[in-house]
A and B are shown apart, each in its own frame.
Chain A
Amino acid sequence: MLPFTSSGSKATPRHHVGGYSNGYPRGKTFDISPHRYQPRGTTVQRRRTQSLVRVALVAAVLFLIVYFCWPRGGRSSSSSSASSSILSVLSLGLLSGGADFQLETVRYHDLSNVQGTARGWEREERILVCVPLRDAEAHLPMFFSHLRNLTYPHHLMDLAFLVSDSKDKTLEVLTASMEEMQAWEDEKMHFGEISIIEKDFGQVVNQDVESRHGFAAQAGRRKLMARARNWLLTAALRPYHSWVYWRDVDVETAPFTILEDLMRHNKDVIVPNVWRPLPEWLGGEQPYDLNSWQESDTALQLAETLDEDAVIVEGYAEYATYRPHLAYLRDPYGDPDVEMELDGVGGVSILAKARVFRYGVHFPAFSFEKHAETEGFGKMARKMDFSVIGLPHYTIWHAYEPSVDDIQHMEQMKREQLALEQAEKEKAEKAMKLKESFGDTTGQWEQDRTKLQDFALKEKKETAAAAAAAVAKNKEKVAATEEKESGGKT
C-alpha cells in the first residue's frame, strides 16, 4: 500500500496547492506578468481548502482500503483471507515496481512429442531416473560417481529418489550430495528436476542379504518393493518425460554410456545383463539378476496350479521353471548389441519409454499372472504389446555382498587357512628344534673337523719345518766343511 498512499498524498496537494500558490493573481483574467508576488487568499479561505484537502485524502485512503479489503474478505472462504488480501495489496504495490515473475497456472503438453526415439540425446528428450533407496548410505558415494560420469546430457536428466523406512543417514547424505551437485561450478554437471520423496511403508522384512533373498520372504517383499516403485514413479513422472530409467544404487561397474547404449535399440523396455564379481575361490564372477527370463511351458503349467495370490520367484529350487535366463546366456566376447526377447525383467537397470508407464504398465503389487514387481512389469508390458528386450552380452556388474553361506564358507576357509598356517608354523618350529639339537653336533663336528684340519695342518707344517730345518742343518754342515776345506787351502 505504501507507494500508492505516498504518491496519492504527495500528488494531490502538490498539484492543487502548488497551482494555487504559484503567484497568479486572483480575480483577474489573463495577467501576463505572473511572477509578481501576490498574497494568497485570507487565512479563513486557506484553512477551509486545507481541511477540504485533508477530507479528500482520508476519503481516498478509505476508498482504497475498502476497495481492496471488502470484496475479498467478504467472499473468500479461505482462512487467511483478510490478512492475505492486505498482503496482496502490499505485494502488488511492490510488484508493480519491479516484478520479475508471473504465476503460470496453465500447462500444455503434446504427448506425441515425448514418445522416445533412438537418438534421444540429440532430440533433447528428457529422461527420468528413478532410484528406490532404503538404508543405502554405504552405496551412495559410489552411485553418485556413476551419476556424474553418465554421458547423457545432465540437464535432460531428472532424478527422483524414494527414501523409505531408512534408519541410517541415507536422506541426509543424499540431500547434501545432490545440493552440492546442483551448486557445481561447471554448468554441464547440473541435473534437471531433483525430487527426493519420503514415504515409509512399514517394511517388516530386513534388508540384509539373507532375509532379502530367503524364499519365504520373497512374495511379500516383492509386493512391497513394487508399491515403493509405483509410488516413486507416480510422484515423479511428468508430461515432459520421454524415457524412464530405473537403477539400483548398488551397481558397482557400468559403462558411462549405458543410457545411450540402451536407448539406441529403440525398444519399449530394455535391460542389460547383470552379473557380479566374486572372490577368486568362488570362481571370480557369477550371474546376478535371475529375474530377466523368457517364459517356459513348465512355468506356465506351474502357474496354473498355483493359488491366485501366489507369486513365482525365479532362482529358487521351490519353483523349478526351466526358463531361459538372460544371465546364463552371456558370452564375455559376444556382440553387446545382440537382443533377446524377454517376458520377465529384473529391476537393477531398466530403460523404458515413458509411454509404457503412461499407458498404465506398472510394477504389480499384487499377483499379476503369478508374478509381482519387475517380473510382473515385464509380463504386463508384454500383455500390452510393448517390446521387452534383454542384451545378453552387454553386462553391468552388481556389487558383491557376501551371503551368510559365503560368510560361513569364508570363515571356514579362514579357519582352514589358519590351521594351515598353524601347521606350517609347527613344522617350522620342529625343524628349528631338530636343527638346534643336530645343528650343535654338526657344529661340534665342524669344529672338530676344523680343529683336526688345523691340527693336521700344523703337523704338516711342523714336519715341513722340521724337514726344512734338517735340510738347512745339512746345508750348514756342508758349508762348514767346505769352509774348513777352503780355509785349509789358503
Chain B
Amino acid sequence: MARPMGSVRLKKASPVTLAVGTALCIFILYFLLGSSTPDFSASRKASAAAHPLSPPTSPFRRSTGGGKLKPPPVTHYNLNNVTITPKPLENRENILLLTPMARFYPAYWDNLLRLQYPHELITLGFILPKTKEGNEATKELQKRIAKTQKYGPERDRFKSIIILREDIDPPLVSQDEGERHKMQNQKIRRAAMAKARNSLVFSTLGPDTSWILWLDADVIETPPTIIQDLASHDQAVIAPNCFQRFWNADKKEMDERPYDFNNWQDSDTAGDLAKKMDPDDILLEGYAEMATFRTLMAYLSKEDGRLHEEVPLDGVGGAALLVKADVHRDGAMFPSFAFYHLIETEGFAKMAKRLGWQPFGLPNYKVYHYNE
C-alpha cells in the first residue's frame, strides 16, 4: 500500500527531504520528551519518602505499578541535625508555610509563587472548614495547586502540599468584615481559629522542618525574600507589620494603613484590667470599650525607619509570623481558652515566653492585607 507513495516520494531524495525528515524526527522527539515535563528532577525524587505513611512534609513515591505494598521501613530521624540558623538558604533549611483558609484569594497564590526561597524546600499546609464557603475555597485552591504542581515549571513547584479539612466547633461563621470584628464574636471566632491553627501545625510539622511561616490567606503581598529576611534576625518568633493598601479619597491616591493590631507590647493598664477579670475572660485589642493602652506595633512604623529594626513583643498576630520549629516542638500552641487572659496568637506569644522564647516584631517590614 505504501509502496507507490513511497516510490513517488523517495525517488526524489534530495537534501531538502533529508532535512525535513530530520526536522520531523526532532519534532517527534521533542513531543515525546515534552510530555514528561511534569516529572521531577532526580534530586527531588531521591529525597522523596518511600511509603505513603511518611511525614507529609515530604512527597512520597506513589507506586504506579500493581503489587502489594511492602511494610513501611524503619525510619530514623535525627532531630539533633536539624539546623535552624539565620542563613536558611545556605543550610538548605526546610520551611513549612501554614495557612488557615476560609476563602481563596488568587493574589495570595500569586504572591506565594513569587517567593524567592527555593520552592523545593517549602512545604505548604492548608486547613479549610467543611462549609459551603470552605468547599468553594478548596476547589479553587486545588485548581491552582494542580496548575502549579503538575503543569508549572519545576522551579515553581513546592516540595509538598497538605490540604486538611475539618469541622471546627464552634464553626467559623461568616467572614464578613463587620461581623468578624464584633467583640462578642471575637472569643468564639478566635477559639475556633486557634483550634484550626493547632490542628494544622501539629498534623503537619515534620521531623525535618526548621522554620514555620504562618501566613494568613488574606495576606496578598509580601516581599519575595520574606523568609530569608525574617530568618536573618535569628529570633524564635518574629512578626512583620501587617498593613492594608486602600484608595485614599482625600489624597486621591493609593495609600496604606495599619491593619493587624495583635502585635503589641504590654501595658500596666492591661495588667490591671486583667486582674479584675474572670479567669475565663480575655483581653482584646482594638476595641474602644476595652482601652488597654498597649504599645501597638502597627503604629510604631516610621516612613524613614530602618527596615530591620526589631522591637520585643508580648502579643503577636497571625497575619505573618515566622516561628522556629523548636518553639512549636517544645509545645507552644495557640490557646483556645483564656491563657493569662489571652487567646490564639496572643496567647501563643505568652506561651512561647513561658517556655523561654521571646517574640520580636519588625515595625518597618511590611506585608499587606487584602482590602475587601
Contacts and interface: CB of A to CB of B under 8 A. Distances in A.
B53 interface: yes
Contacts of A360: 194-195, 198, 202, 333-336
A362 B11 contact: no
A237 B202 contact: yes
A238 interface: yes
Contact of B43 (A80, A179, A187): A80
Contact of B22 (A26, A48, A59, A357): A59
Contacts of B331: 226-227, 230, 362-365
B72 interface: yes
Given A230-B329, A237-B202, A103 B79 contact: no
A101 B61 contact: yes
A455 interface: no
Given A106-B145, A107-B161, A362-B333, A198 B25 contact: no
A18 to B, nearest CB: 9
Given A96-B36, A110-B165, A197-B77, A384 B336 contact: yes
Given A107-B162, A198-B79, A365 B72 contact: no
A194 B53 CA distance: 9
Given A227-B331, A235-B329, A359-B336, A103 B48 contact: yes
Interface string A145-172: 0000000000100100000000000000
A366 B355 contact: yes
B203 A109 contact: yes
B53 A104 contact: no
A8 interface: yes
Given A102-B62, A234-B202, A359-B195, A26 B73 contact: no
A75 B116 CA distance: 12
Interface stretch (B63-71, B180-188, B242-250, B307-315): B63-71
A96 B37 CA distance: 12
**Majority DSSP secondary structure for residues of B touching A:** mixed
Interface string B332-372: 01111100000000000001001100000000000000000
Interface residues of B, number: 94
Given A102-B61, A198-B78, A20 B13 contact: yes
Nearest to B43: A84
A41 to B, nearest CB: 9
A365 B64 contact: no
B29 A4 contact: yes
Interface stretch (B152-160, B224-232, B269-277, B293-301): B152-160
A11 interface: yes
Interface in A188-236: 190-200, 226-227, 230-231, 233-235
Contacts of A233: 202
A77 interface: yes
Contacts of A362: 331, 333
Given A60-B26, A103-B59, A234 B77 contact: no
A31 B7 contact: yes
Nearest to A88: B41
Nearest to A11: B25
B39 A196 contact: no
Interface in B18-67: 18-19, 21-22, 25-26, 29-30, 32-33, 36, 39-45, 48, 51-56, 59-65
A59 B153 CA distance: 26
Nearest to A367: B354
Contact of A109 (B6, B80, B163): B163
Contacts of A26: 11
B8 interface: yes
A14 B143 CA distance: 46
B7 A30 contact: yes
B204 A231 contact: no
A197 B208 CA distance: 11
A360 B194 CA distance: 9
B166 interface: yes
B71 A230 contact: no
Nearest to A53: B18
A8 B202 contact: no
Given A103-B61, A106-B162, A110-B164, 9 more contacts: A12-B25, A29-B11, A192-B72, A193-B75, A196-B74, A196-B75, A230-B330, A231-B329, A365-B330
Interface of A: 4, 8, 11-12, 15-16, 19-20, 22, 24, 26-31, 34, 48-49, 52-53, 56-57, 59-60, 63-64, 67-68, 72, 75-78, 80, 84-85, 87-88, 91-92, 95-96, 99-112, 155, 158, 175, 178-179, 182, 187, 190-200, 226-227, 230-231, 233-235, 237-240, 355, 357-360, 362-367, 383-384
